[in-house]
Amino acid sequence: MANEEAGGRPASGAPRSDRRLTDQAHSRATEIGPGSFFRGDVSCTDPVEIRGTLEGDCRTSARCIVHEGGRVLGNIDAAALVVAGRVEAGVLAADKVELRESARVVGTIRARVIVIADGAFYQGDIEGAGNAGGPPILKDRRARERDGSWRR
C-alpha cells in the first residue's frame, strides 16, 4: 500500500482490482444531480450516477448507480448496477445487480449476479443469466470464527 496514491489507486494510476465497484472514482461519470429532473433516455459509455429523477431509459456500457434519493422511471441496461434509491422499470439488465438496504425496486432483474441487502424492497421477476440451467451457487465470503461470531 506504500506505493499507492490517495484514492486507492496504485502509483501506476490503474484502479485496484480488490476495491468495491462503487469505491472506484471515475472522472467522466454522467450525473443527474439531487433535485434535478431529466425526461428522456440516457445512452453513454461512461458510468452513470443518478441522484435526482430520470424519467426514461438508461443504457451504459459501464456501471450505473441510483443513489439514495435518486429515482428512475424506466429500464436500465448497464455493465453493473447498484440501487440505493427507487426504480420502477420493465427490465433492469446488468452482469451484476446490487440492491442496497434503502432500495425500492419494481421490475424484472436480468443478471448473472444479484445481491439483495436485508431491508431492500423488491417486487418482480428475476432472470439469471449464464448459470447453465442449474441453480446459482452462493459463497459466503465472510469468515466465521470458532465461537460463531462474524469476523470483519
**Is residue 139 a part of any domain in this protein?**
no
137 residue type, one letter: I
Q: Regarding predicted confidence, which is higher, 133 or 33?
A: 33
How many independent structural domains does the chain possess?
1
Is the pLDDT score of 2 beyond 80?
no
Q: What is the pLDDT of residues 65-124, one digit of tens each?
A: 999 999 999 999 999 999 999 999 899 999 999 999 999 999 999 999 999 999 999 999
Give the per-residue pLDDT at 7: 45
Is residue 130, in this structure, part of any structural domain at all? no
Domain range enclosing 57: 25-117
Higher pLDDT, 30 or 7: 30
**Widest pairwise Cα distance in the chain:** 54
In a domain, 78, yes or no: yes
pLDDT of residue 29: 86
CA distance 123 to 120: 10
pLDDT higher for 91 or 151?
91
Please report whether residue 127 resides in a domain. Answer: no
Position 5 scores a pLDDT of 45
Sign of the alpha-carbon torsion through 69, 46, 19, 27:
negative
- The answer to whether residue 62 is domain-embedded is yes
Q: Is the model more confident about 59 or about 4? A: 59
Residue with cell 440451467: 133
pLDDT at residue 141 greater than cutoff 70? no
> For 8-64, what is each residue's pLDDT tens digit?
444 455 444 444 555 555 568 899 999 999 999 999 999 999 999 999 999 999 999
Predicted local distance difference test score (pLDDT) of residue 142: 57
